[in-house]
């Protein structure tokens, strides 16, 4: 078994990224590129084979590859991102995934960002954010029914994507920001709440038994470690200025 992580280089246009909740601040694109390389090294250290797609000078947000696809064991869904500026990002992602999975495509009027899709077992929770709509959820449910996935919409408040508010850090454990998503949606699943002083801290990238995690949330990191989670911190501060975090910079999946 090989674990593949598809990434894409940081666009020199990152400063012109889409922003929803953050004020625009200067971004040091060279530092962002350096941080992204270290993030890729963390993926490699945790056993992934990194497949890096070339940076694109026109597509400001294209480093955030997670939003362009949802890769499941049986199939990959190519999204139709909610921000029109991001729709061309899906083309090279579809090309990169085609050797590994059959592809299905979300079509208009559906819009969905991969950052809104959280898989827990055979349930896909989809954030009803500014980016993802019910039409896409309906398409996803129809396309994935043959594979026996259940697809459910989830309200999110105040954040960009569902995975800004909740991510899975183990098969049976979630990291949650209860201000941004109602934890009752996931009742029955063990969850760890972020430190409330650290907004944005719910986005963690699980790779096997370990978790790649932003270095900027030390109090929540301590909570994770106290719960026995093996955390690998990475500095993604420049990418965070673009409303990115750790799940958004890769598409991780297994191949035989």
Catalytically active residues are 161, 248
Q: Is position 177 an interface residue for ligand CIR (rule: CB under 6 A)?
A: no
Which residue in the set 77, 154, 176, 245 belongs to the binding site for ligand CIR (CB under 6 A)?
245
β-strand partners of 255: 2
Q: Is position 124 an interface residue for ligand CIR (rule: CB under 6 A)?
A: no
Q: What is the DSSP letter of 186?
A: G
Give the neighbor-by-neighbor strand order of the sheet with 48-53.
Answer: 48-53, 2-8, 251-255
Q: Is position 125 an interface residue for ligand CIR (rule: CB under 6 A)?
A: no
Minimum distance between the CB of residue 252 and ligand CIR, rounded to whole angstroms?
A: 13
Helix (H, G, I), strand (E, B) or coil at 142: helix
| x-or-dash string of contact with ligand CIR, 11-50, rule CB under 6 A | ------xx-x------------------------------
Q: Residue count at the site for ligand CIR (CB under 6 A)?
A: 17
Residues 46-85 that bind ligand CIR (CB under 6 A): 61, 64, 66-67, 83
Q: Is position 248 an interface residue for ligand CIR (rule: CB under 6 A)?
A: yes
Helix (H, G, I), strand (E, B) or coil at 9: coil
Minimum distance between the CB of residue 38 and ligand CIR, rounded to whole angstroms?
A: 18
User: Could you tell me the two tokens for 220?
Assistant: 């929540």
C-alpha to C-alpha distance for 1 and 74, rounded to whole angstroms: 15
* Residue 200 φ/ψ region, left for φ over 0, alpha for ψ in the -120 to 50 degree band, beta for the rest: left
Which residue in the set 115, 127, 153, 214 belongs to the binding site for ligand CIR (CB under 6 A)?
115
Which residue in the set 161, 206, 223, 241 belongs to the binding site for ligand CIR (CB under 6 A)?
161
Instruction: Name which of 222, 253, 248, 221 is nearest 32 in CA terms.
Output: 248
Query: Phi, psi at residue 236, to the nearest 5°?
Result: -120, 30
Tell me if 72 sits within 8 A of 121, measured CB to CB.
no
- Residues at the interface with ligand CIR (CB under 6 A): 17-18, 20, 61, 64, 66-67, 83, 86, 115, 160-161, 242-245, 248
């Amino acid at each position: 078994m090989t674990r593949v992580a598809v990434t894409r280089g940081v666009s020199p246009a990152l400063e012109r990224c889409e922003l929803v909740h953050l004020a625009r601040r200067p971004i040091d694109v060279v530092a962002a590129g350096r941080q992204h390389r270290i993030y890729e090294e963390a993926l490699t250290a945790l056993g992934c084979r990194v497949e890096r797609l070339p940076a694109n000078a026109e597509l400001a947000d294209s480093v955030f590859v997670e939003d362009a696809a949802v890769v499941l064991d049986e199939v990959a869904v190519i999204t139709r991102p909610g921000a029109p500026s991001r729709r061309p990002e899906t083309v090279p992602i579809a090309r990169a995934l085609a050797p590994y999975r059959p592809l299905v495509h979300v079509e208009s009027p559906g819009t969905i960002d991969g950052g809104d899709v959280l898989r827990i077992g055979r349930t896909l929770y989809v954030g009803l954010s500014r980016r993802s709509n019910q039409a896409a959820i309906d398409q996803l449910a129809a396309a994935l029914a043959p594979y026996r996935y259940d697809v459910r919409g989830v309200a999110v408040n105040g954040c960009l994507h569902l995975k800004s508010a909740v991510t899975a850090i183990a098969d049976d454990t979630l990291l949650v920001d209860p201000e941004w998503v109602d934890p009752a949606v996931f009742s029955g699943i063990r969850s760890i709440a972020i430190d409330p002083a650290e907004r944005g801290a719910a986005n963690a990238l699980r790779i096997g038994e370990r978790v790649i995690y932003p270095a900027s949330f030390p109090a929540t990191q301590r909570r994770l470690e106290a719960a026995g989670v093996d955390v690998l911190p990475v500095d993604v501060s420049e990418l965070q200025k673009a409303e990115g975090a750790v799940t958004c910079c890769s598409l991780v999946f297994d191949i035989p």
